[in-house]
Amino acid sequence: MDTFKNLEIILVKTQIPENLGFVARAMLNCGLKKLRLVSPEFDINNEKILPISAGADEVIKKMRVFDSYSEAVGDFNFLIASTARNRSLKKPNLTPEKAANEAIEKVNANNKVGFVFGPEKSGLTNDNLSIIDKTVTIETNPSFSSINLSHAVMIICYELIKLNKLIKFSNNKGKLIKKEKLIFFYNHIEKLLDKSGFIKTDDRRDMIILKIKNIFSKSSLQENEIDILFGIFTSLYKAKKNK
């Protein structure tokens, strides 16, 4: 099995075109070829990209570009985000080695896995992180902690290729839901909460919704589990409505 067939790198709102070239080069160095861009802040035909990729043309030419984050991650079952700072949304945090290990195990259980990297200056937003399963942090010098986007991608890709030969393909056991179904589930809950009057004030609404998403994203839900939750929430709303 080609483990990397179901493993992709996702760059969100990348700001510097040269970094795209360096990322493509780092990926192909380690055997990864699937790259997605979400709303890059430059023209993807920028003349600087291909020369810097140093021959990783196939990664650049086959990459997929999306206008929205939810669309870009919708068909993934498991997402790991690179983050360098503490967030209000607490996610299980891994070292690069453990993140690679978990990613390959998930792929070998027939899940589609993505590593998500945010903009160079600001990183990922809480909304981006709300559907992330786990985060990965690359330890650096505390007094000089900034790391280039392509270097971060390279470190993750190196850990992936290092571990790839050690873990054998298993089976479909443990296949997780796609993120598009999870997003649909969140939207369903949000509508039910609005209808039920659970959220009393508008000023706290966004934070409450984010915390609810965070609760469920920690569980790595499977297909049958999300279907059960759909039924439970709908049933409870109907029971309240009929009182």
pTM of the complete model: 0.80
Give the whole-number percent of the chain exceeding pLDDT 90.
53
Averaged confidence pLDDT in the chain: 86
DSSP character string of the chain:
--GGGGEEEEEES---HHHHHHHHHHHHHTT---EEEES-SS-TT-TTHHHHHTT-HHHHHH-EEES-HHHHHTT-SEEEEE-SS--SS---EE-HHHHHHHHHHHHHTT--EEEEE--TTT---HHHHTT-SEEE-----TTS----HHHHHHHHHHHHHHHHTTS----STTPBPPHHHHHHHHHHHHHHHHHHT----GGGHHHHHHHHHHHHHTT--BHHHHHHHHHHHHHHHHHHHT-
151 and 191 co-located in one domain: no
Q: List the domain range (segments joined by +) for residue 125.
A: 3-164
pLDDT in tens, 111-129: 999 999 999 988 899 999 9
Q: Give residue 96's pLDDT band: very low, low, confident or very high (50, 70, 90).
A: very high
159 and 204 co-located in one domain: no
Q: Return the pLDDT at 201.
A: 75
160 and 187 co-located in one domain: no
How many domains does the chain divide into?
Answer: 2
pLDDT in tens, 194-222: 777 777 777 778 888 888 787 877 777 77
Lowest mean pLDDT among 60-64, 122-126, 147-151, 155-159: 122-126
Q: Is the model's pLDDT at 171 over the cut of 60?
A: no
Domain boundary among 117, 134, 164: 164
Higher pLDDT, 12 or 233: 12
Domain boundary among 164, 196, 225: 164
Domain boundary among 121, 140, 164: 164
